[in-house]
């Protein structure tokens, strides 16, 4: 068949048009790839906006005045392609982009560059962990701190439930920007219980964590906060003198004192000087409990310490085995007390005998204390000298297990955030604390990056290519008889 001049002309036009469209698609893909690499413009198709930064974080990053370097302790390619690490990699790129160049992101493979592990010899720096440097110090972050997990009842294996990267990263940057790393001390020597989750949250808040024996050591003047959790043995007179001297100098203390602690007459007597008494009972709240009757969910009062948690109204606090805290007085001299956690009005308390911490029934019986009761109380001491105000605080909580690993790691609970917020408030950094809810990673959230990229590929490549094919077919059909 002989090709006419018109056919050659149309064939040339079609070929040129196809070449132009293909070139445009390739250029668009190259530009999209460069934009994603430079500005982290990855399409976020996750149900809970897993990669999107909150307004609080964006505002903080846009107003940063100090430079930071976030070092990923791993190979860049492997880190970006990992299941968990890939999520963190995308979030880190968004931090870099939103900071306007204030945050530098680098990758150091610890196998080929082991020297970085000796940079901070007193700290454990894990593979695929993060090293944040800038401001007045540094902060190391392990991968486990960035995710919440839950043990499957079927497989007994830990499964990732949520991503907490933004809460950890923004809080760390805030603390380092403020130039302060408060010193927190865990008091030991009385059989105290400190859960791993508590320890990791303290470190995530960019605090310097140490342990302290009041029997053999003086409390450092630089201590911002002491924590005593579930003591099993009483405090000596010398220990209480050291504690009292620290608190009279406007120090701060978090005391977790539950039903698993025996009678501690010396400590109990001292606590009355701060206007509180822990009752020997366990609270049951038939209107506010989860799982079992003594695993109650108290309400947060409008106390200032609770303000940062008000935005998380969809989450609730669990306090298993909580005791009632009696407030002896609201104000005395230069000390005052304020309830921060309270039960509902249908609650009642079951007394237990001796040091057992056990009750025979959860049913309400005659003689049970009933009505609204306190499970958390904040006591303050203050002094005014001219225009200077000095304040020290004690946060009394009657359920040490409220900060157990299982409750702290449960995504829909408030326990994790309440501890982090209390830690920040008690160390004087309430303004440097942000409450950012964890992002859900269930229901296939880990695969949504691929879905997003697939949609982008379909829109950028498949649709234009299909349009070219259909246009060519139409032209061929309309011109084939020419």
More confident residue, 392 or 13: 392
425: pLDDT strictly greater than 60: yes
What does the pLDDT look like over 302-352, one tens digit per residue? Answer: 999 998 887 777 789 999 999 999 999 999 999 999 999 999 999 999 998
More confident residue, 418 or 15: 418
What does the pLDDT look like over 239-248, one tens digit per residue? Answer: 999 999 999 9
pLDDT of residue 343: 96
Mean pLDDT value of segment 89-107 = 94
More confident residue, 17 or 65: 65
More confident residue, 218 or 4: 218
> Is residue 446 very low, low, confident or very high in pLDDT (cuts 50, 70, 90)?
very low
More confident residue, 8 or 157: 157
Residue whose C-alpha is closest to residue 55's, from 136, 166, 155, 208:
166
pLDDT of residue 195: 94
482: pLDDT strictly greater than 60: no
Beta bridge partners of 223: 183
Tell me which range, 118-122, 314-318, 400-404, is most confidently predicted by mean pLDDT: 400-404
More confident residue, 119 or 451: 119
Mean pLDDT value of segment 448-468 = 55
What does the pLDDT look like over 195-204, one tens digit per residue? Answer: 998 988 887 6
233: pLDDT strictly greater than 50: yes
Mean pLDDT value of segment 164-191 = 86
Mean pLDDT of the chain: 82
pLDDT of residue 24: 66
More confident residue, 399 or 152: 399
What does the pLDDT look like over 346-370, one tens digit per residue? Answer: 999 999 876 667 788 889 999 999 9
What does the pLDDT look like over 76-85, one tens digit per residue? Answer: 999 999 988 9
pLDDT of residue 163: 86
pLDDT of residue 50: 77
> Is residue 372 very low, low, confident or very high in pLDDT (cuts 50, 70, 90)?
very high
């Amino acid at each position: 068949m002989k090709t006419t001049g018109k056919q050659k002309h149309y064939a040339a036009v079609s070929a040129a048009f196809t070449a132009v469209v293909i070139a445009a698609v390739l250029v668009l893909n190259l530009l999209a790839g460069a934009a994603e690499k430079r500005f982290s413009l990855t399409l976020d198709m996750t149900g809970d906006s897993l990669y999107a930064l909150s307004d609080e974080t964006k505002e903080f990053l846009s107003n940063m005045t100090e430079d930071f370097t976030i070092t990923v302790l791993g190979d860049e390619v492997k880190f970006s392609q990992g299941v968990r690490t890939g999520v963190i990699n995308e979030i880190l790129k968004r931090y870099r982009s939103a900071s306007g160049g204030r945050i530098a992101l680098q990758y150091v493979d610890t196998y080929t560059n082991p020297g970085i592990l000796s940079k901070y010899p007193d700290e454990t720096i894990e593979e695929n962990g993060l090293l944040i440097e800038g401001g007045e110090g540094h902060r190391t972050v392990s991968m486990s701190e960035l995710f919440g997990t839950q043990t499957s009842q079927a497989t007994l294996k830990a499964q990732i439930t949520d991503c907490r990267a933004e809460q950890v990263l923004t809080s760390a940057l805030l603390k380092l920007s403020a130039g302060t790393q408060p010193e927190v001390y865990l008091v030991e020597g009385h059989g105290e219980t400190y859960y791993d989750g508590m320890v990791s949250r303290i470190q995530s808040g960019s605090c310097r964590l140490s342990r302290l024996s009041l029997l053999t050591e003086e409390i450092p003047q630089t201590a911002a906060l002491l924590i005593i959790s579930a003591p099993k043995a009483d405090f000596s007179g010398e220990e209480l003198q050291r504690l009292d001297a620290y608190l009279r100098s406007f120090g701060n203390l978090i005391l977790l004192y539950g039903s698993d602690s025996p009678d501690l007459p010396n400590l109990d007597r001292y606590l009355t000087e701060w206007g509180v008494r822990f009752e020997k009972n366990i609270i049951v709240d038939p209107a506010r409990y989860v799982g079992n009757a003594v695993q109650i969910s108290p309400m947060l009062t409008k106390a200032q310490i609770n303000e940062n948690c008000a935005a998380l109204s969809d989450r609730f606090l669990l306090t298993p085995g909580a005791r009632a805290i009696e407030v002896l007085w609201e104000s005395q001299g230069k000390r005052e007390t304020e309830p921060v956690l309270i039960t509902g009005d249908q609650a009642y308390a079951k007394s237990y005998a001796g040091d057992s911490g056990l009750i025979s029934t959860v049913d309400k019986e005659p003689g049970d204390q009933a009505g609204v009761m306190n499970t958390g109380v904040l006591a303050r001491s203050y002094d005014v000298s001219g225009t200077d105000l000095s304040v020290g605080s004690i946060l009394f909580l009657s359920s040490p297990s409220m900060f157990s690993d299982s409750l702290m790691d449960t995504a829909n609970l408030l326990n994790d955030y309440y501890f982090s917020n209390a830690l920040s408030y008690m160390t004087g950094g309430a303004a440097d604390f942000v409450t950012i809810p964890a992002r859900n990673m269930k229901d296939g959230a880990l695969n949504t990056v691929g879905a997003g990229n697939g949609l982008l590929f379909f829109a950028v490549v498949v649709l234009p290519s299909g349009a070219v094919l259909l246009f060519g077919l139409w032209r061929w059909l309309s011109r084939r008889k020419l």
